Chains A and B, each alone.
Chain A
Amino acid sequence: MTDFDLTQPETHSISELANALQSKSISSMELTQLYLDRAEQLDSKINAFTSFTKEAALATAQQADAKISDGNNNFATGIPIAHKDLFCTLEGNTTCASKFLENYQSPFESTVTQKTNELCLPMLGKLNMDEFAMGSSTENSFFGPTKNPWHLDYVPGGSSGGSAAAVAASLTPWSTGTDTGGSIRQPAAFCGISGIKPTYGRVSRWGMVAFASSLDQAGPMGKRVEDIAHLLNIISGFDAKDSTSSQQATEDYNAGLAQDISGMTIGLPKEYFSDQLDSNIATAIDAAKSELIKAGANFVEISLPSTDAAIAAYYVIASAEASTNLSRFDGVRFGHRSDKTEDLESLYKHSRAEGFGEEVKRRILTGTFALSAGYYDAYYLKAQKVRRLVLNEFKVALKNVDAILTPITPTPAFQLGQKQDPVTMYQNDIFSITANLAGLPALALPCGFAEGLPVGFQLLGDHFTESRLLNIGHQYQQLTAHHLARPTALV
């Protein structure tokens, strides 16, 4: 372990922070205050937070210090964290970065934040995102876009853009995000950090405001694989409140990180390495492959033929589920209510029109049309069939390989405000949405830079093989330093 440097806590891993707290080199109050100060200083540039919960954070830090003194603490007790602003928290507002929920206070706590609260992880604040997690740039936020800490004119990715940017800029040691079609992995790649979308059902969805229920999955984001493995240990597990939560036993996700990966076979799906892949990304991924080969892994080409159809299926399913998940935002019981409410119909229509941003409305309309009379079979039913094809193809491929390596995005981060038509934006999700359709775990790792902007790759595995993916990822990070690079734009 390196000596603990009080002036630069952000250079340390989670276990180093934990050791420092437990050896009382630093208190949780001090550590929390350091991050709050840093965030206060830098977030005006990045806009990673939708709100800070300073007082509550310090109160929790005080409790954490007491626990540590009493020896009543857990490994991570006292390490501050920040949560994507679609986890319901009793503390502060829960806005989903939407005008509709601008002042919404949840009367209950999400399971994920409940778990971090129970361990006394001080919550620094809530993190910016694309409204209701719809988007891949964090530009669709009522609170304004988050900037990429590596280049403030570029997007951090999305929808968990605040979660990724806050970690990259060391405004928090780690964070939570959610991933419906790549919303953890794509911003992780754009911001040069690590993040994992666990197997569907691994982390409870209770209190996580739904975008597309059968695709949504929460996961940890941090600098290192070992950091996110710690957070996955905390937030994963069965939850009786979520009917789709898996009862499969959890593992200690840090336990196997050090294992030798030699002899492992990694598949490279040819459909993911087409001409549309940015050459800088292709080069960076080639370098990553070489490192993994050094570590003893073998690569084989595989085929996932339904990849192209998957993007269409994904947008049908995600929009259809979203269109009805968002019906509860009607201005009756909570949230925005328009002034133009001469009757019930106008209350509904104006409240929703005013409360939702353009992308959210577009998805609701897309989903509504896809489910409407006469179109169900052509769209929704067919999409669910493609979904089975995608899963089957993965299952077959994963019989012969231990994991699958693919790019996360066809291109590096793009410039803020670079107006793109929705379909082009959607097409960019092609590499990330398949893991959600099939419910597979997918780990995003940084692997270099393209003109100063981070790029990454992902490792996909069979259901509940998070440990193996993290093992491979950790071994990769033992050989490389991309995950330790710090954005210079901020200094």
Chain B
Amino acid sequence: MDATTVKKVAHLARIEINEDNINQYQDDLSNIFSMIDRLEALEIHDIEPLNHPLEMTQRLRQDTVTENDQREQLMQNAPEKADGMFLVPTVIE
């Protein structure tokens, strides 16, 4: 796991890591993946992956409106808001 990969992954995960810590992450992730790499040796091509232990099927919900306007409560934790909207620094499309 090289520094470039660590930076790329940190960018994908949107986590700022400063240069001083990159080595530490590099070491940690390398160790973790060398443990995980024991999967590589397994010959298990014909096995179906298991996503959920009970392998249930999706229950479907009736199409009814059950929620009313709760904007005030829902936005009570917003770091910045105005005119009923969450605010973020200007996004240019």
A and B touch in the complex (CB under 8 A): yes
Range of interface residues on chain B? 35 or more
Contacts known (A107-B76, A312-B39, A422-B28); A349 close to B16, Cβ less than 8 A: yes
Give the number of chain A interface residues (Cβ < 8 Å): 74
- Asked if residues A365 and B9 are in contact (CB atoms below 8 Å), the reply is yes
- How far does the alpha carbon of A105 sit from the alpha carbon of B77 in the complex, in Å? 7
- Asked if residues B91 and A368 are in contact (CB atoms below 8 Å), the reply is no
Any B CB within 8 A of the CB of A353: yes
Any A CB within 8 A of the CB of B65: no
- Asked if residues B39 and A309 are in contact (CB atoms below 8 Å), the reply is yes
- How far does the alpha carbon of A475 sit from the alpha carbon of B73 in the complex, in Å? 48
- Asked if residues B28 and A362 are in contact (CB atoms below 8 Å), the reply is yes
- How far does the alpha carbon of A364 sit from the alpha carbon of B10 in the complex, in Å? 9
A372: which B residues are within 8 A, CB to CB? Answer: 9, 12
- Asked if residues B36 and A243 are in contact (CB atoms below 8 Å), the reply is no
Which of B34, B40, B44 has most A Cβ within 10 Å? B44
Any A CB within 8 A of the CB of B82: no
Any B CB within 8 A of the CB of A167: no
Query: Shortest Cβ distance from B92 into chain A, in angstroms?
Result: 9
> Which residue of A has the minimal Cβ distance to B73?
A107
- Asked if residues B32 and A385 are in contact (CB atoms below 8 Å), the reply is no
- Asked if residues B13 and A323 are in contact (CB atoms below 8 Å), the reply is yes
Query: Shortest Cβ distance from A222 into chain B, in angstroms?
Result: 25
Any B CB within 8 A of the CB of A382: yes
A439: which B residues are within 8 A, CB to CB? Answer: 52-54
Contacts known (A315-B36, A362-B25, A368-B9); A421 close to B54, Cβ less than 8 A: no
Any B CB within 8 A of the CB of A399: no
Query: Shortest Cβ distance from A438 into chain B, in angstroms?
Result: 6
A335: which B residues are within 8 A, CB to CB? Answer: 77, 79
Q: Offer 5 A-B interface pairs, CB within 8 angstroms, sorted by A.
A: A201-B54, A309-B39, A362-B28, A365-B25, A372-B12
Binding site for B on A (CB under 8 A): 103-105, 107, 199-201, 214, 240, 243-244, 246-247, 308-309, 311-313, 315-316, 323, 327, 330-337, 341-350, 352-353, 356, 361-362, 364-366, 368-370, 372, 378-379, 381-389, 391, 421-423, 426-427, 437-440, 463
| 5 additional contacts (CB under 8 A) given A378-B40, A422-B28, A439-B52 | A199-B54, A336-B79, A365-B6, A385-B49, A388-B48
8 pairs of A and B residues whose beta carbons are closest in the complex: A439-B53, A384-B49, A334-B77, A337-B79, A349-B16, A388-B50, A353-B16, A348-B14
Binding site for A on B (CB under 8 A): 1, 5-6, 9-10, 12-17, 25, 28-29, 31-40, 42, 44, 47-54, 56, 58-59, 61, 70, 73-80, 86, 88-91
